[in-house]
Amino acid sequence: MLEALLSAATPFNLMLALIGVVLGTIIGALPGLSATMAVAVLVPFTFTMDPASGLIALGAVYTGAIYGGAYAAILVNTPGTPAAIATALDGFPMAKRGDGDLAVTISCFASAFGGLVGALALLIVAPPLATIALKFGPVEYFWLAIFGLSLIAVLSKGATLKGLIGGFLGLGLSTIGSAVVGGDVRYTFGNPVLLGGIHIIPALIGLYCVPVLLNMVATQDPHIERAATGRGTRVGEALTLMWRSKFNLVRSSVVGTVVGILPAAGGAVAGLVAYSEARRTSKHKDQFGKGAVDGVIASESANSATVGGGFVPTLVLGIPGTPPDAIILGALMVQGIRVGPQLFVEQASTVYTFIFGLLFATVLMIPVGLLIGRTAFRAISSIPKAVLAPSIGVLIMIGAFAVEQNPTHVVMMVALGAFAWILLKFGFEASPIVLGLILGPIAEQGFVQGYLIGNAGGNIWGEFFGRPISLAIIAFTLLTLLWPLWSDRKTRMRLKGAPE
């Protein structure tokens, strides 16, 4: 272990970690450029390096990209990566009220903490944790998606009906294209472009960013409140707030690590689940969605923890937890490294050097993140709208195009943006639609596969309601939905019983 630690701490590896984090953060901050693309672009450069150094570079890029997504979420209300969806819910309201610098600093520390928890889990308990991934079948994924969808009720307090309708709209949008099971062609209007469905990145850009852009030009008000002079990066304030939210921070990091271990769940699901839990357990539930610090902490710590968590099944089982993990798995194979349970024994030096490198990269993310975040906040809060609006226009156009180098995605992005803007005029928020769009395919695939398995075994009900992990997720879902009602009732009773 000590040898691996020293090997990871060589100037060359530290430089790779630093460059990787900087590049990843910048790429992640640009809407449309995902962590997957950041890792994929840099894979060829690692082929000439020794395996551990190459892995450190890729891991650092991945870590930086997941964190970088928070900037656009906080400052422009557009998640730079899908993992930052939940960050936008409270990060942007914080920026609107003049706390954008605080939100960026908190997201940096929360991401670093979550990243460290994920990497430490990888270092200490990877093999036993990997077995969790094997226990997750289609039904568990179905219930996990339902748990995520239950967040709609949480997000849309005060407008629950419109929130639920938005969720169904998102669910409907997710069914466009070829069915995930069976291959039915649905709602394509005979247009082959829609066969692949609605790509999540252009959809995110359209649903979140275009309405912001259109509303930006409607008034003379500043896009976000400008930074007050002399407040610096507000590190002390951020650390104090995080200390107050320490249980949320730890819980969200653990949630992120566990969700990261589940193949295909990813940072978006982790962020949403952690956000939901943070809101459920918070004493200030009504602040969520209006700029709650706890919301940013939960989302950012959870999505960054998925990096380390995702490497657990990738390295131990050869099952990639997220798309960037799949690319890194491919890079490992090119390097001649065979992943599997024996990897931690046969290639111990390489694996532990990589894990320590990932830990260093996560720590390096703090100065890098604070520096880039501060610059980004100052730039966006001081640029006049006449320059900011077209600049965002350029970035969303290239972002939507670059995902699959497909001009149709750009048109789709603008169309969805117009749709979201009109819906906003009628009081429908974008977040429930996005939740339906993201979680719909996971729920559908899990449901149909679970049904088929249950049917083949002659026990459909048992398949859905008789498995321990499923029951635990169902219990959490019910708790999420019913807790606010119970809590409100308790408060009312207390107020009624209180002396005048």
Which chain residues interact with another protein by CB under 8 A? 33, 37, 41, 161-162, 164-165, 167-169, 171-172, 174-175, 179, 181-184, 186-187, 210, 213-220, 384-391, 393-395, 397-398, 401-402, 405, 407, 410-411, 413-414, 417-418, 421, 423, 425-428, 436, 440, 443-444, 447-448, 451-452
Q: Are 121 and 312 in contact (CB under 8 A)?
A: yes
End-to-end CA distance of the chain: 65
Which C-beta is closer to another protein: that of 192 or that of 230?
A: 192
What phi, psi does 317 have (nearest 5°)?
Answer: -110, -15
Which C-beta is closer to another protein: that of 333 or that of 422?
A: 422
Question: How far is Cα 251 from Cα 268, in angstroms, rounded to an integer?
Answer: 16
Q: Are 80 and 372 in contact (CB under 8 A)?
A: no
Which C-beta is closer to another protein: that of 373 or that of 399?
A: 399
Which C-beta is closer to another protein: that of 109 or that of 447?
A: 447
Q: How far is the CB of 217 from another protein (least distance, A)?
A: 4
Q: How far is the CB of 183 from another protein (least distance, A)?
A: 8
Q: How far is the CB of 184 from another protein (least distance, A)?
A: 3
Q: Whats the size of the chain, residue-wise?
A: 500
Q: How many CA atoms lie within 13 A of 270 on its CB side?
A: 39
Q: How far is the CB of 393 from another protein (least distance, A)?
A: 5
Q: Are 289 and 93 in contact (CB under 8 A)?
A: yes
Among 423, 445, 477, 432, CA closest to 171: 432
Which C-beta is closer to another protein: that of 52 or that of 439?
A: 439
Q: How far is the CB of 128 from another protein (least distance, A)?
A: 35
Beta-bridged to residue 177, according to DSSP, are 186
Q: How far is the CB of 449 from another protein (least distance, A)?
A: 10
Residue linked to tokens 């247009």: 191
Which C-beta is closer to another protein: that of 181 or that of 264?
A: 181
Burial label, 161 (beta-carbon count in 10 A; 0-12, 13-18, 19+):
exposed
DSSP state of 341: T
Beta-bridged to residue 178, according to DSSP, are 185
